[in-house]
């Protein structure tokens, strides 16, 4: 069996296009959130934060040093999305529930072990 250069390039283009479409489906999205919570120590979480159009991004690596000041100082009612570890999610959820926000969605991303969540 012989494969021409043209067939090889066509196959590579097809795989690349399928990969690009697939990547968009598996990356979490923070649609509609004005605030995004992420863990700067985790590459997947940083990518999530960069891919959103949120007005404010809160890095949990900084929050641990400031006793969660960024989350505690949020105004009531602003939709929040996050892509964090389970422990960080539970802590953030507690602070945000005190601000009157309620859970909209919560999904474990088994590829990274991170939780994709949103509250409004």
What are the φ/ψ torsions at residue 108 (nearest 5 degrees)? -85, 125
Q: Is residue 83 assigned to a domain? A: yes
Q: Measure the CA–CA gap between 84 and 115, rounded to whole angstroms.
A: 5
> Would residue 22 count as lying in a domain?
no
* pTM across the whole model: 0.71
Q: Is residue 78 part of a domain?
A: yes
- Is residue 10, in this structure, part of any structural domain at all? no
Q: Which two tokens stand for residue 26?
A: 């598996």
* Distance in angstroms (rounded) separating the CA atoms of residues 118 and 15: 32
Average pLDDT, the chain: 81
CB 36 within 8 A of CB 80: yes
Domain that holds residue 73: 29-119
What is the predicted pLDDT for the residue at 15?
Answer: 47
Express each pLDDT in 24-80 by its tens digit. Answer: 444 455 556 889 999 999 999 999 999 988 889 999 988 878 888 898 888 887 899
Q: Cβ contacts of residue 58 below 8 Å, gap of 6+?
A: 35, 36, 37, 38, 70, 71
- The confidence score (pLDDT) of residue 8 equals 57
Number of domains within the chain: 1
Residue given tokens 């919570």 in the structure block: 37
- The reply to whether 91 falls in a domain is yes
Confidence of residue 17 (pLDDT cuts 50, 70, 90): very low
Whether residue 14 is contained in a domain is answered as no
106 domain residue, yes or no: yes
What's the pLDDT score for residue 78? 85
Place of tokens 């012989």: 2
């Amino acid at each position: 069996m012989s494969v021409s250069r043209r067939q090889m390039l066509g196959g590579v283009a097809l795989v690349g296009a399928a990969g690009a479409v697939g990547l968009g489906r598996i990356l979490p999205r923070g649609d509609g959130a004005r605030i995004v919570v992420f863990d700067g120590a985790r590459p997947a979480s940083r990518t999530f934060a960069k891919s959103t159009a949120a007005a404010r991004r809160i890095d949990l690596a900084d929050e641990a040093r400031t006793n969660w000041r960024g989350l505690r100082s949020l105004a009531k009612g602003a939709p929040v999305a996050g892509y964090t570890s389970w422990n960080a999610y539970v802590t953030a959820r507690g602070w945000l529930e005190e601000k009157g926000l309620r859970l909209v969605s919560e999904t474990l991303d088994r590829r990274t072990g991170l939780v994709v969540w949103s509250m409004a």
